[in-house]
Amino acid sequence: MSSDLDVFVGNTTLIDEEVYRLWLDGHSVAEAVARRLRGGVLEREGTSVAVLQSDTRDHYRTFQMLERLLHAPPRLLQQLLFQIPPERQALLVQRYYAFDEALARELLGKKLSKGTKKELDEVSARTGVGIRSCRRQFDNFKRVFKAVEELRGPLAENIQQLFLLPPALARDYAAIVFFANSRFETGKRRLQFLSFGDFAACAQSMMAHWSQGALAPEAAEPDGDLPKSFLQDLKELKVLVSDKDLLDQHKRDTSGMGVPVLGGPGFGGSLGGGVPALSRALVNVGGKLTHARDVRDFFVDLVEKVIEPCRSDKWSPGDLRLFLTHYTAAPRNLPGFRHQALWERYMAAISACLLRMYHD
Amino acid sequence: MPGKLKVKIVAGRHLPVMDRASDLTDAFVEVKFGNTTFKTDVYPKSLNPQWNSEWFKFEVDDEELQDEPLQITVLDHDTYSANDAIGKVYIDIDPLLYSEAATVISGWFPIYDTIHGIRGEINVVVKVDLFNDLNRFRQSSCGVKFFCTTSIPKCYRAVVIHGFVEELVVNEDPEYQWIDRIRTPRASNEARQRLISLMSGELQRKIGLKVLEMRGNAVVGYLQCFDLEGESGLVVRAIGTACTLDKLSNTSAFLPACNSPSKEMKESPLVHAPSHGCRSTHNSPIHTATGSRLTQNFSVSVPTLIYTGMGSGSAGKEGGPFKTLLRQQTQSALEQREFPFFTLTTFPPGFLLHVGGVVSARSVKLLDRIHNPDEPETRDAWWAEIRQEIKSHAKALGCHAVVGYSESTSICEEVCILSASGTAAVLNPRFLQDGTMEGCLEQRIEEASPPGCGFCHIPYDELNMPFPAHLTYCYNCRKQKVPDVLFTTIDLPVEAIVVGKGCLIQARLCRLKKKAQAEANATSISNLLPFMEYEVHTQLMNKLKLRGMNALFGLRIQITVGENMLMGLASATGVYLAALPTPGGIQIAGKTPNDGTYEQHISHMQKKINDTIAKNKELYEINPPELPEEIIGSPIPEPRQRSRLLRSQSESSDEVTELDLSHGKKDAFVLEIDDTDAMEDVHSLLTDVPPPSGFYSCNTEIMPGINNWTPEIQMFTAVRVSRLSNINPTNQTLNKNFNDLCENLLKSLYFKLRSMVPCCLCHVNFTVALPEDELVQIAVTAVAITYDKNQALQANKAPTEKSQQRASTDNEEQLQFPLELSSDPLSSQPFSPAKEALEGASSHTGIPAAQRDRCNSWIELIKLKAQTIRRGSIKTTTSLEKASPLAEGYLRHRSVPSGTNSTVSVVKMTPLSFLPGAKITKYLGIINMFFIRETTSLREEGGVSGFLHAFIAEVFAMVRAHVAALGGNAVVSYIMKQCVFMENPNKNQAQCLINVSGDAVIFVRESELEVLPAPPPAAAAQPAGSAGDVTT
């Protein structure tokens, strides 16, 4: 005797967290049943495999019907079809939009296009995230990206409003959107030591300090794009390295501020040009940001030109912090340097990024 | 021009994209009532249009107001081609037609399309101005209130319960009209939805007229059903109980209940006149009324079940003088009526005097085209015949009334089985007459047998018993005779004394039948029916005994007819009534006693059965008081009995098993195994698995033995269709398949709801259909309610005590004084129930100790309390009632903004008449909805399961939306009356019809009531009190 039709509908929609997890992970009904069996539910509840199958199918159907609504979470709140308590709704949304950091790390800076989606098989193999789950997460990234691409104002807040995500998750999505928008290169071998968290933190600092929203909340451009005028202005900073006097003065000021380490033997040793080299690197990174191609290399440059030299010089993170603090502050005393505000705005994000990235 | 209907279309949201080019929609709305149609402007290019229309006004007759639904159609404007319909909303405006219900319907309604399901929502405001005085209505019956609830609704008081009202209307089914060949199925289904909506309105109006004729103002236990007779038409029929209800206004005077208690006390010995007969009714043979007319209207009547021979009519004559008097009164009150039937299943205390047993009648009919829809005489005659039969069965049981009455049909092709069943009963005449509510309570107290057992006492005549049976004096009062087993279709009376917990008992049965046509078919069905009834009955009896119980409540036997088989499914809630004798065990007897291995086998089975009984007794906590033989049959003084009762309750469970063994010898129920069939039956008996720990189930409103519900509820509907894939099915394999199907379904429910443990599935309602050859469809609707385990344990210790308390609090409700009889936390101490309650009460009310000693019965206590109240020494009166208007205002205040808010307000749904931990403050009107859903892309919608899952969810959503629009926050007495599913997988098509109903209400949480000023101590502090409240 086979059951052709078998449904269970509650006035309050039943959500089984375990089955939801399995569904999100992209398991088929059969796989999900097998996993639940391994979880020992049969022994605990003294039920049968048939019951478990029927239960799993019911939940899967519910989730499939809910998925349409999960694509626009505010609709989940307004819809009349499923009666779900608010805390359950929040849970559904949060779990649906939660992502595997390994996967997100792989996709950071990539164009969220069909082409990328086709490569997900490899990504899935590398990260160990099921292919179906990969696709769902990719679609989530893309959906969020599309939704906020054109919106003004702070990215994270927009995402939070449109997708009802918890603040931390919304900030992570903002980072993903930011990376996808600027297409930063993150896949190079020398960047492999950086985690998703590192990049997300960098993105947040960059948006916090550089985006228009950071200065004028009613800015015209979306937060995901770095403001053109700001990038243009960064060119002015080149004066710090191109003008010999200023460079020397800057170096002196930095070293002269009673920082023993910086004056010590290690300092300037393997750095080659010492502070001037570092300084040139730091300023040039900013100067290059006007060209889209160079923007992509932002993180590569930081690692190659700053982090690796420092590391080979065996600076501790404390050393780097000290250096950056003083280096940022030094131009204040430079005669004829008129870009102090710009400089500090630039260096605030750069410092935050470097400090976050400075680890093994 | 007696009424003006005003409609305003505010806005839409989440509309579907109708124009692929722009991904937008140019929506407008047509508002139709009767023959008048208004249109809104087109709101271009939006999926969230803001029409904000003017008020569309319809000036119509009140007759029309009652019959017609308001039709709202949302369309997409198209300049060049015909406008596309997006979907529709039907709004029943009946709730606006009586003053006490809703005043405005306002809210978001799902826009429904038969093909696409829900497509966005529309915000509508509807109002009605009635110009006439209600009394002047003649053609219409505006103002008559309808309730699906099968008890007196919570915020009303029954002044008079008039009795049975019925009506049916017929029409041609649009699906089968000639025009169906040229129009789309969608148009056809829409026509059906519209027609049924119209017919329901008409039916309700006609029933209302009958109620007005009877000088009533309400219909309680209103049950409306559709018979889809196919070619021969569409029948909409309804039954209900006409009542005159009084809204319990908050300042309302007390019931004139507390007159001269001392006088009553003197009279009370009269109550138990001796010499009452007893007749065991369960094992009566099947009685088939012959003389079937095999003519055009083929008819075979099959009266069955608890039905005791002829000629015992006026049994009361040998009874005591009081009984005779009572009988005459009842007779005069009831015999004016054609059918003394009541669709109620729960009654005001004192209404039900004695219960005779279940009476049922079935008849097989051949359908033919209804020639004249305006004169549905044939169908009327069919039902009249059946009702007559029921009436005569009740008479045979010495009863003048039938309670818990219901009717149903099962149709397959041109054959139709009409069924009716109910419980024969003797009622208190005072409730049935006009203007005699005065002194009704007095009467009740005077007449009442001891509260926990009176209804068990046999109403029929002992001397005229056609069948020998075990009969005993009531184990509770020792004064009157009781049968050894009691079957009823009603809910367990609140005052009943129950030992342990109850459980769901089902009997399941399949019988093969040859495929045949017309009369041959009908004959074979009617030949099978008696055997099915008999077997269902035997199964029920065996399963009841297997659980060590002695009474069934809420019995519902459904016989479903299919092409090549008949299916019988009986559901009931088994309980152990303290008033009835302990059931004997089951003993197996073999036919061939000389065969050694056979004997061994038998004894093995016997052991298994005994073990099961013992296990069940433990599971359901059935530890009845053990009474020594010499006491049985002789009345003993009450105090002594009570103390015995309590002593044995405190005994350890070891003794209980000892007790079990004795049952086998005492008066065992012998099962003879004479062939393999019987062996199978015994096996199947033992296959019923008890629910997993933490779960209980019942099909009545409340679970006997549990009364500490928490507010968490989950109503659900589960549907299963299974293919009986045997090539050569036999009755045995079919039975087994069917049995497995039901058991698996239950198991699946327990698993799904495991997070709610400890909980109880209440009002479990199974419906069986045989849509095609070899296909069985089972639909279950029930509610899972959690309860507090800790308190449950406490309650288990003293079940009788608790029920006693419940009875007493229930009584308070009736009296309208929230007395704190059981609010004393010390009340769980092992006092005798009466004494303990008294103790609790007197400590609160300050009745002098001397007076207290004089009270040795519960009834006297109540009287005493009444007296005390009249003297004004209790100051807690009406505080609970006072709280409700505040609560209502409070709630309304809160719910108004939530209507316009974007978040959806929560609407609870339950098949019960109450919500645990909450007080219903207002009934907003009846919800009666009919939907059809069809698809031509079944696979794409997730197959049959996906299709039906979505549809049921949509039906729930539409019910909730309508309730919310009426301003309500719950549906009580919700029932899915029909779920007809048809599929054609080859064509990738499916279709489903669902009909649901219930009462829209506003409830307030008791915890919220507490927050309000002057919290009533009685309502706030006692779980027992709330249980009493909600189960009235």
Over residues B278-327, the pLDDT tens digits come to 222 333 333 333 333 322 333 344 433 333 322 233 333 333 444 444 45
Instruction: Give yes or no: residues A108 and A75 share one domain.
Output: no
Contacting residues of A for B754, CB less than 8 Å apart: 45
* pLDDT per residue as tens digits for the range B928-987: 999 999 998 988 888 899 999 999 999 999 999 999 999 999 999 999 998 999 888 888
Residue B133 has phi, psi (to 5 degrees) of -70, 140
A202 close to A177: Cβ distance less than 8 angstroms = no
Q: Are residues A24 and A135 in the same domain?
A: no
Tens-digit pLDDT profile for residues B502-539: 899 999 988 888 888 878 888 889 888 988 888 888 88
Closest CA to B469 of B312, B283, B280: B280
> Chain A interface residues facing chain B, Cβ-Cβ under 8 Å?
1-14, 45-48, 50-52, 54-55, 57-58, 61-62, 64-65, 75, 77-83, 85-86
Q: What do you get for the CA distance between the two ends of chain B, in Å?
A: 41
For B:101-140, CB contacts with A below 8 A are: 108, 110, 118, 121
Sequence-distant contacts of B864-868: CB under 8 A, at least 24 apart = B864/B261, B865/B817, B865/B819, B865/B841, B866/B257, B866/B258, B866/B261, B866/B815, B867/B258, B867/B261
Which residues of B are less than 8 Å from A62 in CB distance? 949
User: In angstroms, what separates the C-alpha of B52 from chain A's closest C-alpha?
Assistant: 20
- CB spacing of A3 vs B721 below 8 angstroms: yes
B821: nearest Cα among B833, B805, B832, B835: B805
B906 CA: distance to closest CA in chain A (Å): 7
Q: Are residues A161 and A233 in the same domain?
A: no
- Measured in angstroms, the CA of A86 and the nearest CA of chain B are apart by 9
Based on the fold, state whether residues A200 and A256 are members of the same structural domain. no
Look up tokens 């009426």; give the residue: B966
| B631/A144: higher pLDDT | A144
pLDDT at residue B861 above 70?
Answer: no
| Residue B964 burial (CB count, 10 A) | 24
Specify the amino acid at residue B903.
T
Distance CA B177, CA B419 (A): 28
Q: How far is CA B264 from CA B273, B441, B443, B860, B871, in A?
A: 16, 11, 9, 9, 18
Is residue A194 domain-shared with residue A253, that is, in the same domain? Answer: no
Asked if B714 and A10 come within 8 Å (Cβ–Cβ), the reply is: yes
- Cβ contact, residue pair A11, B909, below 8 Å: yes
Query: Do the domain assignments include residue A277?
Result: yes
Query: Could you tell me if residue A42 is inside a domain?
Result: yes
Final residue belonging to a domain, choices A180, A214, A248: A214
Tokens read off for B871:
């003297």
β-bridge pairing B908-909 and B970-984: parallel
Residue B383 CA to residue B165 CA, distance in Å, equals 13
Tell me what the mean pLDDT of segment B433-444 comes to. Answer: 44
Residues 6 or more apart in contact with residue B590 via CB below 8 angstroms: B598, B599, B602, B672, B673
Nearest by CB: A9 against B750, B953, B961: B953
Put simply, whether B728 touches A (Cβ < 8 Å) is no
CB contact under 8 A, B953 and A65: yes
Residues of B in contact with A55 (CB under 8 A): 748, 751-752
Q: How far apart are CA B787 and CA B713, in angstroms?
A: 10
In sequence order, the β-bridge partners of residue B561 are: B566
Q: CB distance B720–A64 less than 8 Å?
A: no
pLDDT (0 to 100) of residue A134: 93
Question: Per the domain annotation, does A261 fall within a domain?
Answer: yes
Is A245 among the domain residues? yes
More confident residue, B397 or B783: B783
Tell me whether residues B118 and A45 touch, CB distance under 8 A. no
Query: Which pLDDT score is estimated for B781?
Result: 95
pLDDT of res. B634: 41
**Pairing of β B669-673 and β B586-590:** parallel
State whether A11 and B956 contact (CB < 8 Å): yes
Distance between CA atoms of residues A230 and B732, nearest Å? 85
Classified as helix, coil or strand, B988 is coil
Full 3-state SS string of B609-631:
HHHHHHHHHHHCCCCCCCCCCCC
Whether residue A114 is found in the same domain as residue A205:
yes
pLDDT at A59: 95
* End-to-end alpha carbon distance in chain A: 62
Nearest-CB residue to A8 (from B121, B716, B723) = B716
Amino acid at B649: Q
Total domains in chain A come to 3
Verify that A241 and A353 share a domain, yes or no.
yes
Find chain B residues with C-beta within 8 A of A20's C-beta: none
Measured CA to CA, the distance from residue B678 to residue B592 in angstroms comes to 14
Of B720, B961, B981, the CB nearest to A80: B961
B714 strand-pairing partners: B784
Q: With contact defined as beta carbons under 8 Å apart, do A5 and B948 qualify?
A: yes
Strands (E), B550-603: 551-561, 565-577, 586-590
Q: In what order do the strands lie in the sheet with B401-412?
A: B289-293, B299-301, B352-366, B415-427, B401-412
Chain B residue numbers touching A51 (CB-CB < 8 A) = 744, 747-748, 751
Same domain membership, residue A201 and residue A296: no
**When comparing pLDDT for B902 and A359, which is higher?**
A359
Top residue of B752, B754, B775, B962 to mutate, by most chain A CBs within 10 Å, is B752
Within a domain: A94: no
Tell me the chain B residues in contact with residue A50 when contact means C-beta distances shorter than 8 Å: 744
| Alpha-helical runs (H) found in A15-72 | 17-24, 29-38, 41-45, 49-70
- 8 Å CB contact of A77 and B904: yes
Query: Which residues from chain B sit within 8 angstroms of residue A61, using beta carbons?
Result: 942, 945-946, 949
Which of A2, A6, A62 should we substitute to test contact with B (largest number of B Cβ atoms within 10 Å)? A6
Report if residue A298 sits inside a domain.
Answer: yes
Picking from B615, B36, B537, B15, the residue whose alpha carbon sits closest to that of residue B287 is: B537
pLDDT at residue B96, rounded to an integer: 86
How many pairs of residues across A and B have Cβ atoms under 8 Å apart? 131
Is residue A92 assigned to a domain?
Answer: no
Q: At what angle do helices A244-255 and A317-329 cross, to 10 degrees?
A: 130
What pLDDT, in 10s, does the model give residues B408-429? 999 988 889 999 999 988 888 7
Residue of A nearest to B112 (CA): A81
DSSP 8-state symbol, A225 = S
Residue A93 and residue A170 in contact, taking contact as beta carbons nearer than 8 Å: no
Closest to B395 in 3D by CA, of B485, B437, B335, B448: B335
**A51 vs B714, B747, B952: nearest CB:** B747
What mean pLDDT is reported for chain B? 72
Task: Determine the Cα–Cα distance for residues B525 and B511; give it in Å rounded to an integer.
Answer: 10
Tens digit of each residue's pLDDT (9 = 90 or more) over B893-932: 333 333 334 567 899 999 999 998 888 988 998 999 999 9
Rounded to 5 degrees, what angle do the CA atoms B657, B661, B662 make?
120
Q: What's the complex ipTM?
A: 0.86
Neighbours of B675 (CB within 10 A): 9
Return the percentage of chain B with pLDDT > 90, whole number.
Answer: 26
Boundary (domain end) residue, out of A51, A82, A113: A82
**Which of A2, A3, A7, A56 is the best mutation test for B, with the most CBs of B within 10 A?**
A7
Pairwise CB contact (< 8 Å): B719 & A6: yes
pLDDT at B433: 62
- A54, two tokens: 């029927």
Do A259 and A175 reside in the same domain of the chain? no
* A330 and A236 fall within a common domain: yes
Pairing relationship of beta strands B156-171 and B775-787 according to DSSP bridges = unpaired
Q: Which of B716, B777, B902 sits opposite A11 (nearest CB)?
A: B716
Chain centre distance of CA B984: 34
- Nearest by CB to residue B110, choosing from A9, A80, A82, is A80
Would you say residue A219 lies in a domain?
A: no
- The Cα B378–Cα B17 span in angstroms is 50
Percent share of chain B, pLDDT over 70: 65
A332/A344 Cα distance (integer angstroms): 10
How far apart (Å, rounded) are the C-alpha atoms in residues A27 and A19? 10
Q: How far is A29 from chain B (nearest CA, A)?
A: 14
**A193 and A306 fall within a common domain:** no
Backbone dihedral angles phi then psi of residue B982, each to the nearest 5 degrees: -130, 140
Amino acid (one-letter) located at B800: T
Q: What are phi and psi of B199, to 5 degrees?
A: -65, -40
In terms of residue numbers, what domain contains A45?
17-82
Of the candidates A50, A58, A80, the beta carbon closest to that of B904 is on: A80
Give the pLDDT confidence of B101-148 residue by residue, as tens digits: 677 899 999 999 999 999 999 999 999 887 755 444 456 667 788 999
Q: For residue A191, what pLDDT band results from cuts at 50, 70 and 90?
A: confident
The DSSP bridge pattern shows strands B156-171 and B234-247 to be: antiparallel
Q: What is the pLDDT of residue B107?
A: 92
Answer yes or no: do A236 and A353 share one domain. yes
Mark which of A158, A192, A214 sits at the end of a domain: A214
Strands of B234-247's sheet, edge to edge? Answer: B145-146, B218-228, B234-247, B156-171
Q: Are B299 and B292 in contact (CB under 8 A)?
A: yes
